[in-house]
Structure 1
Amino acid sequence: MKTTKINRQKIYEVIAEQIKQQIIDGDLKPGDRLPTGKELCEMYGVGRSTVREALSALEIMGLIETRQGEGSTVKTWNPEIMALPNFQDFLISEETVLELMEARKSLEISISRMAAIKRTEEDLNKLEDNLKYMELNLSNPNESKKTDMLFHKLLAQSTQNSIMVHLIEAISDQMDKAMEEIRRITFGSPSLSRKILKEHRAIYQAVVEQNTALAQQKMLDHLGHFEGEMGEYYKSKKELKEMEKRGKF
């Protein structure tokens, strides 16, 4: 297996992208087993949590399958699956962004319920690692934002439903583009980042307990937080435009 040595500062996406490209190029074929986590750590010169996140990202893309005690194996994959829906042309107004948020909320509530029912111990370990990593990076806006997005993708993976995974992947990526400024403000504040971490922990605990009703409610509370921020953001933009029209700026 070919690798390129990277330094510790590189994030897990670099490793995932390298392995993904080898799968696409045919260097790694369906049924091939990846090196163990320890071997990958040595090959890439990174820690276990970084490798674990890289493997999680590849699972979310549907490229590998990881089973506890058996390692990770390359799956048979369809190139068309990699082409997720693109909502970019629709993200042109406040109304369409809010509609996308509404769709995401319905999807995530369903995901939280399914995850509470179907999650495995391996899923819980990945979610727990994600929470620990987020706590360590509360003062790092970029890492906090990425860890926040990964939490929701890992939760979708816990449903054991590949369609859910691809849907949340598509919607989350587009929401991130649409809410770039809001996310910059949110994750630029350690106190707001701590609030998000607390909400994630509440969702995680409900999933651990397999409490479907509580998992759905905690997800609803969490997304309600972002809806409130979106409302304030668009309100302030409208007020600024009105002031500009009146010549106050």
Structure 2
Amino acid sequence: MPAFTDDHSAEITAALGTLPVGTPVSEVARRLMDLFTSGSIEPGTRLPPERHLASTLGVGRSAVREALAALEILGIVDVRPGSGTYLRGTASDLLPQTLRWGLLIGRQNTAELLELRSGLEIYVARLAAARATPEAIAELSVAVERMSESIGQLADFARADAEFHQALSTAADNRTLVDLLHVVRSLLQVYADRAVHDEAAARLAIAEHQTIFHAVERRDENAAAAAMATHMSTASTRLAAEAARRTP
């Protein structure tokens, strides 16, 4: 992989500049992200060490360390102990993660994210009913079956639920829409994985997914959208309750 060199040092120094005293970690991360997603640095490049970035930005090493840790979680960089920090992917590959980071910095509240997810999921269901291939319909069927089989194992149930929605997104055949929905789902995932607490809620979710599946299978766009709207109503209520429970 390309190693960090003095040439990179000059380029990064010129691109980053010095930040004002007291700049928060979120702004340090944003400044680094802007450079890393600009396309001016080759993917796989080993980046300058923390002390160099801290000196360039005029901030403490702890701020740079926290910013890089956040960018690693988002998939923008790869921190390898004993080796260094490397840029991952290309600018286009990083677009969904960039959007995700922007939402995190903006601290969008859960209610707004749930409303956005509902609108996107309903449109995805409509598109899937119109565009799903036989293979996509088969994947949806398998996902619903896995949900039914894992009703007593809620962690497995949550994974099967996610697989269904991913298969539905793929069937919709709109990459930009899928990327946007992936961003929102990722932000809500910490709640989604724990929102179904008991067998009664799981059985209701299964019934709702089956209704969506059968509408897609019949190629009924209106029915698919309506079924998803019903599911989003109950799912959003569960997610909002879980978010409230986990918020100090």
User: TM-score, with normalisation over the residues of structure 2?
Assistant: 0.57
Query: C-alpha separation between the residues in 2 aligned to 1:207 and 1:201?
Result: 10
Query: C-alpha separation between the residues in 2 aligned to 1:147 and 1:90?
Result: 30
Q: Would you say 1:147 and 2:157 are equivalent positions?
A: no
What is the aligned counterpart of 1:115 among 128, 132, 135? 128
The question of whether the paired residues in 2 share the 8 Å contact of 1:131 and 1:201 is answered with yes
Aligned position for 2:104: 88
What is the aligned counterpart of 2:208 among 199, 215, 218? 199
The question of whether the paired residues in 2 share the 8 Å contact of 1:149 and 1:172 is answered with no
Aligned position for 2:64: none
Relative to 1, partners in 2 of residues 1:235 and 1:117: Cα closer, same or farther, differing over 3 Å? same
Relative to 1, partners in 2 of residues 1:155 and 1:81: Cα closer, same or farther, differing over 3 Å? farther
The question of whether the paired residues in 1 share the 8 Å contact of 2:110 and 2:243 is answered with no
Please give the per-residue CA displacement for 1:178-202, whole angstroms capped at 9, x wherever unaligned: x25xx4251x312211111111110
Letter in 1 for 2:202: S
Query: C-alpha separation between the residues in 2 aligned to 1:205 and 1:169?
Result: 24
> What RMSD over aligned residues (CA atoms) do the two structures have, in Å?
2.5
Please give the per-residue CA displacement for 1:3-43, whole angstroms capped at 9, x wherever unaligned: xxxxxxxxxxxxxxxxxxxxx99xxxxxxxxxxxxxxxxxx
Which residues of structure 2 form unaligned runs of 5+? 1-42, 45-88
What is the aligned counterpart of 1:211 among 211, 220, 238? 220
Relative to 1, partners in 2 of residues 1:100 and 1:185: Cα closer, same or farther, differing over 3 Å? closer
**Superposition deviation, residue 138 in structure 1:** 1.0
What are the within-5 Å matches in structure 2 for residues 1-249 of structure 1?
A: 79-83=90-94, 84=96, 85-86=99-100, 87-91=103-107, 96-177=109-190, 179=191, 183-186=193-196, 188-233=197-242
Aligned length: 157
Which residues of structure 1 form unaligned runs of 5+? 1-23, 26-77, 242-249
Query: C-alpha separation between the residues in 1 aligned to 2:188 and 2:209?
Result: 18
**Superposition deviation, residue 88 in structure 1:** 2.5
Please give the per-residue CA displacement for 1:197-240, whole angstroms capped at 9, x wherever unaligned: 111110000001111111111000001002222454567689xx
Q: What is the percent sequence identity of the aligned residues?
A: 20
Structure of larger gyration radius: 2
